[in-house]
Amino acid sequence: MGAESLGSRAVIGRFYAALQQYMGSSWISQIAMPFDSDQESETYKWLGMVPQMREWIGDKQASGFRDNGITVINKEFEATLEVLTKWLRRDKTGQLKIRIAELAARAGGHWGELLSTLISNGTGATSGLCYDGQYFFDSDHSEGDSGTQLNLLTATQVTALDVTTAASPTPVEAARAILGVIAYMLGYKDDKGKPMNSQARSFLVMTSPVLWAHLAPAIYNRQVNSGETNPIQGIIENSQFKIDVAANPNLTYTTQFVTFRTDAPAKPFIMQEEVPVQMKALAAGSEHEFKTGKQLYSVEASRNVAYGYWQYASHSTLS
């Protein structure tokens, strides 16, 4: 490859090509809904659920909206790579390919980092408040006719979360704990007092890589312990349920995992984007290069994340 191919256009081209391979982990689209933005902030009105079908007797009964809402302010993000012009001239393709790929990987994984912060902060940080004013994972959610509900689960709510060793549950223990949590989530009610997850059939379990090693066999192995049939596999094979597990290196859980419903039209999180990832350059012929002998390649984006429906997520602690 000649030196001409390593000009600024080639560097930018390599970045966008690599970015397509790193557009975030597959779990991002499962738990977060994207929204475009064209201003500094956007307000989302989480106005309760639409009414259930009823027998039409007399006049139609219109169901009004609730006033809950959340405003998401876009934030500016950037990362800048400095490249020596002589590297381009001397065709250091191997080194540049690595650096460009690393920059693309960081940019592609940015949504995952932002969402992971929401997950980590959801149990009590100031930034962990969701649309109803409670922490995203909390013990006293209530709106309309829902009654008090919680998605911060322990063995008090799901007895199967009580295992022999919390940090290393057996596959059978982990399978029963996961199924117990999903069963609990199926009982969440909306602000009309109606079951919110009655149609739920698809779930994603997420935890740290350490605990993932114990939860993954509980979901994917056909047999557990000494040839015992995996209860999760039995349900998957004999029904329309789908359960997956993801290892998130951004989480530091040792005995905790989160469970998300992934087949609802709405999602647990919001991804708001005003300006998608783009690369700008002070490259060949720029004043910066003239003065320093270096070129700058800056990756920029304007975006933010926020909490959506807490009813599609739960935080569980093994004990």
- Run means of pLDDT, 10 residues per run, the chain, 319 residues: 57 83 79 93 70 58 60 92 78 73 88 95 83 91 90 97 96 94 95 89 96 93 76 80 94 97 94 92 84 88 93 97
pLDDT of 1 reads: 40
Distance CA(76)–CA(183), nearest Å, equals 40
Helix ranges restricted to H, the chain: 8-19, 27-31, 85-89, 93-108, 110-121, 171-185, 209-220, 231-238, 287-292
pLDDT of residue 60: 47
Q: Please name the amino acid found at residue 130.
A: C
The letter for the amino acid at 86 is: K
Contact between 31 and 263 under an 8 Å Cβ cutoff? The reply is no
Q: Which CATH architecture has domain 3-47+70-317?
A: Alpha-Beta Complex (3.90)
Which DSSP letter does residue 3 get? G
pLDDT value, residue 25: 64
Tokens of 318: 């093994």
Specify the pLDDT at position 2: 41
How many CB atoms neighbour CB 239 within 10 A?
9
Which pLDDT score, from 0 to 100, does residue 211 have?
97
List the end-to-end C-alpha distance of the chain, in Å, as a whole number.
Answer: 58
Integer Cα distance of 92 and 265 in angstroms: 48
d(CA 233, CA 241): 10
